[in-house]
Structure 1
């Protein structure tokens, strides 16, 4: 069951009808950072003035050839981010641009700063970044914008005044609320559960979790209790250990929501080989290829995500539209993202890919990413 982009019926996006009411999003997908970095604090403290946006957009302007863009993920070895960035690089090839991926091996708050500075010195036409910390990257991104470089965030946003556009996987509210709805369905609406997040400062994770907490205030979830939010720092081994710690600390735990691809696969791996298999539900945001084994062995009944390939592809075309002057980032402007069709910029420069999708044993073999 393939899913089409909500913006264009001709799109080949994998996102489609949401199961369970509103389905959640994902992934990482989803990384974060740690607080207290001196470099991060200094970078955010005195941002340079941003470059002024063009007075008006020219939607009929052609995409310029030879545009240079760079993808800066949360961490270079994150499987989800690799899928996203590779698709963005492929998009650039379609419009005869040049694209690359660079980034740190860890997801700390200040780890992306030196890469932003280098890309600015290289005079990239656009920097596309999945921010580890919304504020730590702000100063360097403002410096880049002051030199005419366009900044597009994807997956995890930076502060709004530090970028031109944010390419969001799905509505943050939809993601958070649907995660609670999914877990409630899996545990019969009763019991204790925990959240295994990425890093404590991850913008997307924190936003989703706030909506999860708000959703829990509804009467239908009165018998569900969030006992702990743990942080695996988007590190496989730490996420594995945090899962073990949660299950030992809370013997009555009925479920774990991991809205991060690294976290959900680590949690499923631990539960799969433990006495908790079949007793503790694991769900969240993951990729089919990561989770196929655990769906088929009964550890995970269902989980959600969007198509990370489409996220990167959309970001790549959004950057080209900005650089070419088709859009400025203002609400209501429209641009065409290749095979995905037309998109409209929303409030605060946000572009939403589309609704997420639920994967289970009945459909997981239809997908390969």
Structure 2
């Protein structure tokens, strides 16, 4: 396996060259600022054996359009920067044990870096730490494992901020009263749980809003549809469903419209425009919150490649180019955020993901 700190060797070579030629050459240009440090394919380095850096992607659910878009972004970054995506894999339904197996396989295959979005932020910790100990650069994206030794996380919007935005949307759309149900992907996700907690914190200030249930579907679309259908039967006066995973809003909207409740019950939360546009048009989903998963995948791969090249981690305001854009890195953290987008009838058809 190639060492990730090849930059140390390059630095030594640079010192030797400088010693040979002295100070007669022109002074070097100043180093770029974080906002200018996006690397191009021409500038990229490779491993000690001259081969492209090998990167694996492990997601919590294969077949989900959200992660497919993210993977396409990662592949774009790798192509531009001269790296190679050797694997894009994950379980067919959320299963952290399968994710663990996939990560261990990538370690054995000699991956230089692994990008991980996990179904369980705690259970994955020993395996991420094992990869780091083996010399693999592990970056999380979308769903973090903050207590692991992972190097950095690229995600979208602070989980508390996005959850707060969903809670405020519930208040606005319901007029501050009525029964609502909360929906999530998996209860083992630290990020999703933070969003749920933030929604509940907002609604706690509105005593006329009653949270009647919180359901986890493990990011299974059909399971979520069934859960919403049952909740509509159990709570005939329910006014809204709010989901913190991209599966939730379109699944809830489908169940609402199948029950003939269009105009009576709404669906809100985190969702893909491509999966939700028809429901936004019908008014069943008045608005959505999301980000571009392709940009997230791009920035995660670019961050990993930069680290492999020179040992650097993303900085606040760092620019990953025309596609990747700038990220926000709060001081003292190893988490970078890409901006969120509010989708309504006015703009949802402007996006392809």
Q: CA deviation at 1:326?
A: 4.4
Q: Is the 8 A contact 2:55 2:111 kept in 1?
A: yes
Q: Is the 8 A contact 1:75 1:107 kept in 2?
A: yes
Among candidates 316, 320, 323, match of residue 337 of structure 1? 320
State the partner residue of 2:77: 91
Q: Is the 8 A contact 2:73 2:294 kept in 1?
A: yes
Q: Is the 8 A contact 1:68 1:98 kept in 2?
A: yes
Matched, 1:300 2:304: no
State the partner residue of 1:223: 208
Q: Please give the alpha-carbon distance, in whole angstroms, between the structure 2 residues aligned to 1:345 and 1:300.
A: 31
Count of aligned residue pairs for this structure pair: 311
Among candidates 259, 280, 287, match of residue 274 of structure 1? 259
Q: Is the 8 A contact 1:321 1:335 kept in 2?
A: no
Among candidates 132, 138, 142, match of residue 155 of structure 1? 142
Matched, 1:252 2:237: yes
Q: Please give the alpha-carbon distance, in whole angstroms, between the structure 2 residues aligned to 1:352 and 1:189.
A: 30
Q: Please give the alpha-carbon distance, in whole angstroms, between the structure 2 residues aligned to 1:209 and 1:314.
A: 26
Deviation per CA, 1:242-270, whole angstroms, max 9, x where unpaired?
A: 10111112222110001211121111111
State the partner residue of 2:68: 82
Q: Please give the alpha-carbon distance, in whole angstroms, between the structure 2 residues aligned to 1:231 and 1:345.
A: 30
Larger radius of gyration: 2
Q: Please give the alpha-carbon distance, in whole angstroms, between the structure 1 residues aligned to 2:199 and 2:62.
A: 29
State the partner residue of 1:69: 55
Q: CA deviation at 1:341?
A: 4.1
Q: CA deviation at 1:328?
A: 4.5
Q: Please give the alpha-carbon distance, in whole angstroms, between the structure 2 residues aligned to 1:207 and 1:104.
A: 24
Considering Cα pairs closer than 8 Å and 6+ residues apart, tell me whether 1 or 2 has the greater RCO: 1
State the partner residue of 1:357: 341
State the partner residue of 1:4: none
Matched, 1:191 2:178: yes
Instruction: Report SS of the residue matched to 1:139.
Output: helix
Among candidates 206, 209, 225, match of residue 196 of structure 2? 209
Q: Is the 8 A contact 1:327 1:334 kept in 2?
A: no
Q: Please give the alpha-carbon distance, in whole angstroms, between the structure 2 residues aligned to 1:84 and 1:342.
A: 17
State the partner residue of 1:106: 93
State the partner residue of 2:49: none
Q: Please give the alpha-carbon distance, in whole angstroms, between the structure 1 residues aligned to 2:224 and 2:274.
A: 18
Q: CA deviation at 1:342?
A: 4.6
Q: Please give the alpha-carbon distance, in whole angstroms, between the structure 1 residues aligned to 2:178 and 2:308.
A: 51
Compared CA separation, residues 335 and 359, structure 1 to 2 (3 A) = closer
Deviation per CA, 1:279-328, whole angstroms, max 9, x where unpaired?
A: 11111111111011112223222111111111111111111122112414
State the partner residue of 1:13: none
Q: Is the 8 A contact 1:326 1:335 kept in 2?
A: no
Q: Please give the alpha-carbon distance, in whole angstroms, between the structure 2 residues aligned to 1:84 and 1:299.
A: 27
Among candidates 151, 154, 158, match of residue 167 of structure 1? 154
Q: Please give the alpha-carbon distance, in whole angstroms, between the structure 2 residues aligned to 1:341 and 1:82.
A: 20
Compared CA separation, residues 246 and 114, structure 1 to 2 (3 A) = same
Instruction: Compare the two structures and name the one with the higher helix fraction.
Output: 2
Q: Please give the alpha-carbon distance, in whole angstroms, between the structure 2 residues aligned to 1:121 and 1:149.
A: 11
Among candidates 181, 186, 192, match of residue 168 of structure 2? 181
Using structure 1 for the length normalisation, give the TM-score.
0.79
Say which is worse superposed, 333-342 or 310-319, in terms of deviation. 333-342
Instruction: Report SS of the residue matched to 1:69.
Output: strand
Instruction: Report SS of the residue matched to 1:368.
Output: coil
Instruction: Report SS of the residue matched to 2:132.
Output: helix
Instruction: Report SS of the residue matched to 2:74.
Output: helix
Q: Is the 8 A contact 1:318 1:335 kept in 2?
A: no
Q: Is the 8 A contact 1:69 1:124 kept in 2?
A: yes
Q: Is the 8 A contact 2:62 2:90 kept in 1?
A: yes
Q: CA deviation at 1:87?
A: 0.9
